[in-house]
């Protein structure tokens, strides 16, 4: 008896084909799913690293499916795992991670499937307590700013392929220790580096603007005559490139025993626009950290936070530096540690906000008028530690990466800011000291929402790649022949089909897992037994 005859005998029906319209180019043997737009797409198998097929029967319980398992970067040693750099490369689906070993600073470039693109690249000998920032440049390539082995801030520039553009170069010889670094790419091209220089026990905020080739533009600029008279934290300065041109720099400012936050707006040439100004609250004898986020309407949002007895606020400014709306209070309990703030811009000049307060973690979305849209989502009531990371995904929703209860988790939220259930994915069972989450785009199926979570903790540096949108697809069958996008796609929905890529282990899917009726199917190797859409 042929296998197809056996399937017919147990299903009680002969093989059946159906015609769909392809939502993208597909090949013969691709497993086909039906998207929310009723078009046919193919998918990926999470059991294998790389581009094997995956049946995407949408389940109500699975918000995320593993694309690349948690992967530690070889060579990154425990003593140097505290600080990690990350950036998603411009004009590419790849991303880069900077890390340290006993030799110094290195980076590795990965594709969206988690496959290294060439060997890791050694940058320069670095300080034992690494502080590193990365920024993808507008025209391609990326810049790194870091503390080198001489204790001074350095920078380097590479192409998207990891080819050297500018070797590690001194930014400025400073007095005392460098505790803070800020880095941002500019929309006009090039990048800006910020740091503090210690003068008479005062850490003064300074910055330098560089071209995409790493050439200093003009001279180093001192932002303020006073700065911090204590050791500033790694996040006590933040720089954001404004969409209309230039950048804003936010920094901690100390006057006597009182810490506050200030900012200045500069054009791409480093010329001050208007005057520096204070924002937010003040606090006594406490390190103040800041965060700046540029918005799509040319404005920006500034936040401050510290472990102190005060309630910090979040303030939006338009492109001229004028306050928009009413500042938003980050918490209701004075004395609660406000240990981190992360924001991302959303379309139309709005922004999304992730912040902890009084032992819980919250998320909210604001419009261009700085008015909150919808309700505040409580992501966790557990004690949340720094770091935090927030990214907007391709469907308009969000991924929030946090560290608590000795693990790193990723939560999903919809575009309105509603929490989608419990933690979607546990990245690693360890408390992170550095954490990033970023949306990716899969070239083999760009319709699938994908993101990467990168971590550094006391024993390793690593990442996980997760793709979601499983719940938006319904498994249909297997492509009988290849089809171009928007053309007729012939799909076998009952019978036996040969897959383009073999599975490395038996697989079975039950139509009961679908939000709508779906395919009941089994796979052994490259053979799929289809029992039909039920």
Q: Is the pLDDT of residue 28 over 80?
A: yes
pLDDT tens, residue by residue, 204-215: 899 999 999 999
pTM of the full structure: 0.79
Contact indicator for 247, 266 with CB cutoff of 8 Å? yes
Based on the domain organization, do 228 and 327 belong to the same domain? Answer: yes
CATH number, domain with residue 15: 2.40.300
CA triple 66-72-75, angle to 5 deg: 160
> Strands 247-255 and 258-266, how do they pair?
antiparallel
Based on the domain organization, do 41 and 97 belong to the same domain? Answer: no
The pLDDT score that the predictor gives to residue 253 is 86
Based on the domain organization, do 16 and 117 belong to the same domain? Answer: no
Based on the domain organization, do 483 and 465 belong to the same domain? Answer: no
The pLDDT score that the predictor gives to residue 102 is 84
CATH number, domain with residue 420: 2.130.10.120
Based on the domain organization, do 466 and 492 belong to the same domain? Answer: no
| Window from 273-282, 305-314, 319-328, 495-504 with minimum mean pLDDT | 305-314
- Among residues 12, 32, 40, 23, the alpha carbon closest in space to that of 497 is found at 32
Q: Is the pLDDT of residue 11 over 60?
A: no
pLDDT tens, residue by residue, 434-477: 889 999 876 555 666 788 999 888 778 889 887 654 434 577 88
Based on the domain organization, do 294 and 363 belong to the same domain? Answer: yes
Average pLDDT over residues 21-44: 80
Contact indicator for 163, 194 with CB cutoff of 8 Å? no
* Domain residue limits at 463: 66-470
CA–CA dist 237, 228 (Å, integer): 11
Based on the domain organization, do 118 and 30 belong to the same domain? Answer: no
Percent of the chain exceeding pLDDT 70 equals: 80
Backbone torsions φ then ψ of 245, nearest 5 degrees: 120, 145
CA triple 454-328-271, angle to 5 deg: 75
**H or E element in which residue 198 lies:** strand 191-199
The pLDDT score that the predictor gives to residue 387 is 79
Based on the domain organization, do 482 and 448 belong to the same domain? Answer: no
Domain boundary residue among 470, 493, 519?
Answer: 470
Confidence of residue 517 (pLDDT cuts 50, 70, 90): low
Q: Provide the 8-state DSSP code for 228.
A: B
**Residue 288, token pair as written in the block:** 């103040």
Q: Give 256-289 as a DSSP string.
A: TTEEEEEEEEE-TTS-B-S--EEEEEEEES---E
| 421 vs 349, more confident | 349
């Amino acid at each position: 008896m042929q296998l197809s005859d056996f399937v017919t005998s147990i299903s009680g029906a002969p093989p059946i084909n159906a015609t769909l319209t392809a939502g993208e180019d597909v090949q013969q043997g691709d497993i086909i799913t039906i998207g929310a737009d009723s078009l046919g797409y193919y998918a990926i198998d999470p059991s294998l690293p790389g581009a094997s097929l995956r049946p995407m029967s949408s389940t109500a319980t699975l918000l995320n499916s593993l694309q690349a398992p948690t992967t530690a970067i070889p060579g990154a040693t425990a003593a140097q795992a505290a600080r990690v750099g990350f950036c998603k490369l411009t004009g590419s689906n790849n991303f880069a991670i900077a890390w340290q070993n006993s030799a110094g600073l290195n980076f590795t470039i990965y594709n969206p499937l988690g496959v290294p693109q060439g060997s890791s690249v050694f940058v320069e000998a670095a300080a034992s307590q690494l502080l590193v920032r990365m920024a993808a440049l507008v025209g391609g390539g990326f810049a790194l700013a870091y503390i080198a082995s001489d204790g001074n801030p350095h920078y380097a520039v590479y192409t998207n392929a990891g080819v050297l553009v500018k070797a590690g170069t001194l930014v400025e010889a400073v007095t005392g220790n460098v505790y803070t670094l800020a880095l941002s790419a500019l929309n006009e091209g090039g990048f800006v580096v910020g740091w503090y220089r210690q003068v008479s026990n005062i850490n003064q905020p300074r910055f330098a603007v560089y071209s995409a080739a790493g050439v200093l533009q003009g001279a180093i600029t001192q932002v303020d005559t006073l700065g911090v008279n204590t050791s500033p934290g790694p996040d006590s300065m933040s720089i954001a490139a404004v969409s209309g041109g230039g950048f804003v720099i936010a920094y901690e400012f100390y006057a006597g025993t009182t810490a506050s936050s200030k900012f200045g707006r500069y054009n791409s040439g480093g010329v001050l626009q208007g005057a520096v100004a204070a924002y937010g609250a003040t606090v006594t004898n406490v390190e103040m950290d800041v965060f700046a986020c540029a918005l799509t309407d040319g404005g920006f949002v500034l936040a401050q936070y510290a472990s102190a007895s005060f309630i910090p606020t979040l303030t939006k400014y338009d492109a001229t530096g004028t306050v928009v709306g009413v500042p938003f209070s980050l918490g209701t309990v004075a004395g609660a540690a406000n240990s981190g703030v992360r924001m991302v811009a959303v379309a139309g000049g709005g922004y999304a906000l992730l912040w902890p307060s009084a032992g819980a973690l919250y998320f909210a979305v604001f419009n261009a008028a700085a008015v909150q849209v919808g309700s505040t989502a409580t992501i966790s009531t557990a004690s949340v530690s720094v770091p935090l990371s927030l990214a907007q995904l391709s469907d308009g929703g969000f991924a929030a990466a946090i560290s608590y209860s000795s693990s790193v988790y990723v939560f999903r939220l919809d575009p309105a800011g509603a929490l989608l259930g419990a933690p979607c994915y546990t990245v690693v069972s360890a408390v992170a000291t550095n954490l990033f989450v970023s949306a990716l785009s899969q070239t083999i199926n760009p319709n699938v929402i994908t993101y990467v979570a990168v971590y550094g903790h006391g024993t390793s540096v690593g990442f996980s790649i997760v793709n979601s949108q499983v719940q938006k697809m319904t498994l249909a069958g297997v492509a009988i022949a290849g089809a171009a996008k928007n053309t007729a796609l012939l799909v076998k929905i009952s019978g036996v089909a040969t897959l383009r890529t073999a599975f490395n282990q038996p697989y079975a899917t039950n139509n009961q897992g679908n939000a709508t009726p779906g395919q009941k199917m089994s796979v052994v190797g490259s053979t799929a037994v289809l029992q039909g859409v039920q």
